[in-house]
């Protein structure tokens, strides 16, 4: 017979955030759209990395993606939703990890302890960021997500948890020809 207390113990994973340094000791997370598997290649939170001297450092994650064509006069929209933030900052850069200033920054946000407590009580943050098409290229692109804050006594708990990240292209035209209305049944022929 199963011991329920042993079963419960396997779900208590205090310190899970420190596994980031084990999984990414020298290089930060790189996620490639169309190749990477979110179940294996995405860490649950963008947290600080614990170094050998017991200090912490911020990090920059990369999301690599391919665009077949880019309308250089358009504006893309990056939708980012955070499930929680704890004394963290999110900086967004496109194709240049050193761009100064970044395209977007949240400034320091959050006083949740959701990462520490593995809770469901984080404050929800939603950002809609304009990306000039001139920052994107036809072919391979990289979105850089930097969380630089790591200099307080609570640095181990600084971080962000993403709910979703979505890049939306600019409208291709004002014509609706070839677009199905939302209430049309699947596989309905278009005019």
- Give the pLDDT confidence of 101-145 residue by residue, as tens digits: 999 999 999 988 777 766 667 788 999 999 999 999 999 999 999
pTM: 0.81
User: Is 58 among the domain residues?
Assistant: yes
User: Is 1 among the domain residues?
Assistant: no
User: Is 20 among the domain residues?
Assistant: yes
Contact 86, 159 (CB under 8 A): yes
State yes or no: pLDDT of 14 exceeds 80. Answer: no
What confidence score (pLDDT) does residue 15 get? 61
- Give the pLDDT confidence of 33-77 residue by residue, as tens digits: 999 999 999 988 899 988 888 888 999 999 999 999 998 889 999
What confidence score (pLDDT) does residue 160 get? 94
User: Is 67 among the domain residues?
Assistant: yes
Q: Which two tokens stand for residue 60?
A: 């920059």
| Number of structural domains in the chain | 1
User: Is 156 among the domain residues?
Assistant: yes
User: Is 4 among the domain residues?
Assistant: no
Enclosing domain of residue 93: 13-168
User: Is 185 among the domain residues?
Assistant: no
Q: Domain holding 102: CATH number?
A: 2.60.120.260
Task: Label residue 181 exposed, middle or buried (CB < 10 Å: 0-12, 13-18, 19+).
Answer: exposed
């Amino acid at each position: 017979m199963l011991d329920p207390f042993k079963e419960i113990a396997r779900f208590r994973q205090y310190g899970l955030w420190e596994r980031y340094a084990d999984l990414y000791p020298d290089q930060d997370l790189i996620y490639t759209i169309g190749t990477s598997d979110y179940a294996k290649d995405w860490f649950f939170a963008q947290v600080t990395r614990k170094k050998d001297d017991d200090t912490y450092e911020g990090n920059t994650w990369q999301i690599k993606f391919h665009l077949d064509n880019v309308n250089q006069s358009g504006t893309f929209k990056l939708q980012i939703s955070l499930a929680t933030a704890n004394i963290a900052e999110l900086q967004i850069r496109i194709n240049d990890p050193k761009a100064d200033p970044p395209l977007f920054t949240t400034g320091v946000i959050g006083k949740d302890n959701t990462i520490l407590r593995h809770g469901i009580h984080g404050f929800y943050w939603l950002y809609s960021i304009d990306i000039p098409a001139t920052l994107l290229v036809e072919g391979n692109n990289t979105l850089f997500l930097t969380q630089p804050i790591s200099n307080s006594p609570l640095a181990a708990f600084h971080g962000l948890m993403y709910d979703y990240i979505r890049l939306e292209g600019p409208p291709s035209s004002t014509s609706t020809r070839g677009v199905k209305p939302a209430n049309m049944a699947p596989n309905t022929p278009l005019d």
